[in-house]
A and B are shown apart, each in its own frame.
Chain A
Amino acid sequence: MSEKQQVTLMVNGTQRSLEVEPRQLLVHALRDQLGLTGTHVGCDTSQCGACTVLVSGEAVKSCTMLTVQADDCKVTTVEGLGDMAHLHPVQEGFWEKHGLQCGFCTPGVMMTTVGLLKHNPNPSEEEIREGLEGVICRCTGYQNIVKAVQYASKKLGEQESEVEIASAAPRAKA
Chain B
Amino acid sequence: MAQVFGSTLKRREDPRLITGNGQYSEDIQLPGMLYASVLRSPHAHAKIVSVNIDDAKALKGVVAVYTGKDLQGKIGTVPTAWLPPDSNIQTPPHEVLAVDKVRYVGDGVALVVAENRYVARDAVDLIKVTYEVLPAVVEQEDAMGDGAPVLHDGVEKNVAFHWQAGNATDEVFDNAEVVVTQRFRQQRLIPNPMEPRAATAQYNPGTGEMTVWATSQNPHIHRFLLSGILGIPEHKLRIVSVDVGGGFGAKIACYPDEAMVAFAARDLKRPVKWVEDRRENFLITTHGRDMVLDVEFAGTKDGQFTGIRVRNIANMGAYLSTAGPGVPTILFGLIVPGAYKIPYAGVDVYGVFTNTTPTDAYRGAGRPEATYLLERMVDLFAAEIGMDPVEVRRANLIQSHEFPYNTAMGLEYDSGNYEGALDKALQMVGYEDLRQKQQELRASGRYLGIGVTTYVEICGLGPSQVAGAVGFQGGLWESATVRVHPTGKVTVFTGASPHGQGEETTFAQIVAQRLGVPFEDIEVVHGDTNRIAMGWGTYGSRTTPVGGNAIAVAVDKVIEKAKKIAAHMLEVAVDDVRFEDGTFNVEGAPGRSVSIQEVTLQAYLAWNLPQGVEPALEGTAFYDPVNFVYPFGTHICVVEVDADTGEIDLQKYVAVDDCGRVINPMVAEGQVHGGIVQGIGQALWEGAVYDEQGQLVTGTFMDYAMPKARFFKQFETAFTETPAPQNPLGVKGIGETGTIASTPTVVNAVMDALRPFGVKDINMPLTPERVWKAMEKGRSQA
Instruction: Indicate with 1 or 0, residue by residue over A10-41, a CB within 8 angstroms of chain B CB atoms.
Output: 00000000000101100010011001111111
For the side of the interface on B, what is the size category? 35 or more
The answer on a CB contact under 8 Å between A37 and B715 is no
Residues from chain B with Cβ under 8 Å of A144 in the complex: 670, 673
Residues from chain A with Cβ under 8 Å of B192 in the complex: 138
Q: A130-174: which have CB < 8 Å to B?
A: 130, 132-133, 135-146, 173
CB within 8 A of B499: which of A28, A41, A47, A102? Answer: A102
Q: Is the interface of A mostly helix, strand, loop or mixed?
A: loop
Q: Give the docked Cα–Cα distance between A128 and B709 (Å).
A: 8
Q: What's the least CB distance linking A151 to chain B, in Å?
A: 12
- Interface status of A124 (Cβ within 8 A of chain B): no
- Interface status of B487 (Cβ within 8 A of chain A): no
Q: B675-713: which have CB < 8 Å to A?
A: 675-678, 700-702, 706-710, 712
User: For residue A137, which residue of chain B has the nearest CB?
Assistant: B194
Q: B67-83: which have CB < 8 Å to A?
A: none
Residue from the set B10, B20, B24, B275 with the largest chain A CB neighbour count within 10 Å = B20
The answer on a CB contact under 8 Å between A91 and B245 is no
Which stretch, B11-19, B305-313, B449-457, touches the partner chain A? B11-19
Which stretch, A54-62, A65-73, A82-90, touches the partner chain B? A82-90
Given known contacts A104-B195, A138-B674, is B118 in contact with A23 (CB within 8 Å)?
A: yes
The answer on a CB contact under 8 Å between A102 and B29 is no
CB within 8 A of A42: which of B22, B278, B500, B674? Answer: B278
Residues from chain B with Cβ under 8 Å of A145 in the complex: 709
- Interface status of B478 (Cβ within 8 A of chain A): no
The answer on a CB contact under 8 Å between A78 and B13 is no
- Interface status of A100 (Cβ within 8 A of chain B): yes
Residues from chain B with Cβ under 8 Å of A146 in the complex: 709, 714
Residues from chain A with Cβ under 8 Å of B673 in the complex: 140-144
In the complex, how many residues of chain A place their beta carbon closer than 8 angstroms to a beta carbon of chain B? 63
Given known contacts A50-B194, A102-B194, A141-B673, is B245 in contact with A40 (CB within 8 Å)?
A: yes
Q: Give the docked Cα–Cα distance between A129 and B278 (Å).
A: 24
Q: Give the docked Cα–Cα distance between A140 and B246 (Å).
A: 11
Q: A95-132: which have CB < 8 Å to B?
A: 95-96, 98, 100-107, 110, 125-126, 128-130, 132
The answer on a CB contact under 8 Å between A43 and B193 is no
The answer on a CB contact under 8 Å between B20 and A36 is yes
Q: What's the least CB distance linking A130 to chain B, in Å?
A: 5
Given known contacts A44-B279, A102-B244, is B500 in contact with A139 (CB within 8 Å)?
A: yes
- Interface status of B440 (Cβ within 8 A of chain A): no
The answer on a CB contact under 8 Å between A98 and B11 is yes
Residues from chain A with Cβ under 8 Å of B706 in the complex: 47, 136, 138
Residues from chain B with Cβ under 8 Å of A41 in the complex: 26, 196, 275, 277
Q: Give the docked Cα–Cα distance between A130 and B194 (Å).
A: 20
The answer on a CB contact under 8 Å between B117 and A44 is no
Q: Give the docked Cα–Cα distance between A82 and B26 (Å).
A: 23
Residues from chain B with Cβ under 8 Å of A129 in the complex: 709-710, 712
9 closest residue pairs by CB, A with B: A38-B20, A104-B245, A102-B500, A103-B17, A141-B673, A47-B701, A141-B677, A101-B500, A78-B20
Residues of B within 8 A of A (CB): 10-11, 13-15, 17-22, 24, 26-27, 29, 116-119, 122, 192-196, 243-246, 248, 275, 277-279, 499-502, 666-667, 669-670, 673-678, 700-702, 706-710, 712, 714-715, 738
